[in-house]
Structure 1
């Protein structure tokens, strides 16, 4: 290799290292772009009524802040209270499961017990899993200052992008050759439309799932229905993986009271997921890019491993963008015009 090639390789390695070090900031910037894209649709809608953009932006941001304040005043205190109750109940629940596990081992014959490998380690695995969740939760609370700074950066970037998105878009388009700039503009529009459609549909689905879960848990008399319903709605943001994880906390709480309640909770969540798959998704996800379930699960696991908690929640929108780029750039613009 020549000196210039070695220098280019060194520059590439240094660039990748810098990008890796600021990966969290890049994800926050992507989340800001996504939110600004959604709010920009609202701003454009208000501008149809001959409203100045500055006023339309102020109204859109004001509505978002009002929703956040109302949620903080009405919901957050109840969430904190139920989280404290949840942390107090978990040791009792784990002790009950431990006693049931020991009883089960005593009742099951030895020849059958030998074929059920790992049964005697069930309680230990559940307890380890629960302790890790609680430990990570307290770590999350201890790093609240960093979270506040990240949220502040997120909202500041969103407002800056929303005030004048055209300049940022044109600046990005200018990075490409002149002949390809119209194509880049078209691809960006497709990414924006797919992203807005997915976010709108997902938020509506999250709200409906949370309400259905809350009503069902209230009817069954499960402890802490609000926090479990909010968890079900929040995890709906992670397709395929989230709905499966959301059933674990209410099922454990129900198991502490009665085994039939735990079964009822599982049936309830299974029914809600069927309603979501057969009714909600076909209605609210018409503009969403179709994602294969295996690709979605792999994306959640990979982004979660590399980027942590934020990567899990941004995995699906990132996959939507990557899928459009692969389809439009790699397939249509390169492979379809590749001649031997």
Structure 2
């Protein structure tokens, strides 16, 4: 290797190290890019009605903020109220659990009973854990200021990218050799199409899941059916993990009425999730963007281990971008090149 190649290698390694150190910032920038691509479709829709781009951007961002405000107004306050009620009723629920355990001891063989004798201590630990968790709720809210600031930064970056995306795109392309810049432009176009298709598919999925789960909860007469339906729809943004987490509050609220209702809610959520995973998602995503289920789950584990919760949240758009670059750059331009 010549001196220039060694210098290039050192610069590349240094850039990788710096990128790793500022990975959270880069993820926030990537979030703004994904949001800008999603809103840009809405902006173009407004422009079809002969609305200027500036006004279209204002309307798109305003609609996004309106939806976020509606979510916090519809979902958060009722959940906090029901959460307080749930905390008050937790000792009663645990006492019922102990009585069910005593009843089951008369039906289960003695060897199995010996394995369940620690359940009483487990419920006591669970009660103390819940008390500690909800007792530190104010601390959790005080630490959320950083999340709010990050959201503001992402929103500002999104508006900047929407207002004039061309200079940022040209600056990124200039990082590549002149002979390859046209090819990079094509790959970026493929990335935009892939992300746009994914956004369309995931928004449709979220709407369908919200309606189905909300309807099921209304039929079962579970409190906060609308709020839980909206929450389950939003949680679909994070496949596998999100739907599981959205099941917990609905089951807990149903448990306040009766164990049978809680089981019914759990069964309904599982059935709807299976329909979404095995029927709805393949049909929609196959037309929008091709993502294999096993690769999707593996990408969530990988990005979550490297980047934390934000990596888990952005696992699918990151996978879409990675898939496009591997297919176009590595497979077509390197491996298949003769």
Aligned residue for 1:234? Answer: 234
Task: Please state whether the residue corresponding to 1:222 is helix, strand or coil.
Answer: coil
More divergent stretch after superposition (84-93 vs 34-43): 84-93
The question of whether the paired residues in 1 share the 8 Å contact of 2:217 and 2:265 is answered with yes
Are 2:331 and 1:331 equivalent residues in the alignment?
yes
Task: Please state whether the residue corresponding to 1:312 is helix, strand or coil.
Answer: helix
The question of whether the paired residues in 2 share the 8 Å contact of 1:194 and 1:320 is answered with yes
More divergent stretch after superposition (184-193 vs 17-26): 17-26
CA distance in structure 1 between the aligned counterparts of 2:132 and 2:21, rounded to whole angstroms: 26
Aligned residue for 2:213? Answer: 213
TM-score by length of 1: 0.82
Aligned length: 338
Aligned residue for 1:316? Answer: 316
Aligned residue for 2:58? Answer: 58
Deviations 1:172-192 (A, max 9, x none): 111111221121111111111
CA distance in structure 2 between the aligned counterparts of 1:295 and 1:152, rounded to whole angstroms: 32
The question of whether the paired residues in 2 share the 8 Å contact of 1:212 and 1:272 is answered with yes
The question of whether the paired residues in 2 share the 8 Å contact of 1:205 and 1:280 is answered with yes
Are 2:91 and 1:78 equivalent residues in the alignment?
no
Aligned residue for 2:42? Answer: 42
Task: Please state whether the residue corresponding to 1:291 is helix, strand or coil.
Answer: coil
Are 2:108 and 1:108 equivalent residues in the alignment?
yes
Alignment of structure 1 residues 122-133 onto 2, 5 Å: none
Aligned residue for 1:163? Answer: 163
Aligned residue for 1:175? Answer: 175
TM-score by length of 2: 0.83
Aligned residue for 1:251? Answer: 251
Structure 1 residue 153, shift from structure 2 partner: 0.2
Structure 1 residue 330, shift from structure 2 partner: 1.2
More divergent stretch after superposition (39-48 vs 153-162): 39-48
CA distance in structure 1 between the aligned counterparts of 2:122 and 2:164, rounded to whole angstroms: 56
CA distance in structure 2 between the aligned counterparts of 1:237 and 1:329, rounded to whole angstroms: 28
Q: Mind listing any 5+ residue stretches in structure 2 that lack a counterpart?
A: none
The question of whether the paired residues in 1 share the 8 Å contact of 2:78 and 2:224 is answered with no
Alignment of structure 1 residues 270-285 onto 2, 5 Å: 270-277=270-277, 280-281=280-281, 284-285=284-285
1:298–1:120 Cα change, 3 Å: farther
Task: Please state whether the residue corresponding to 1:247 is helix, strand or coil.
Answer: helix
Deviations 1:266-293 (A, max 9, x none): 2211232244246533554354322222
Aligned residue for 2:306? Answer: 306
CA RMSD of aligned residues (A): 3.6
Structure 1 residue 98, shift from structure 2 partner: 4.8
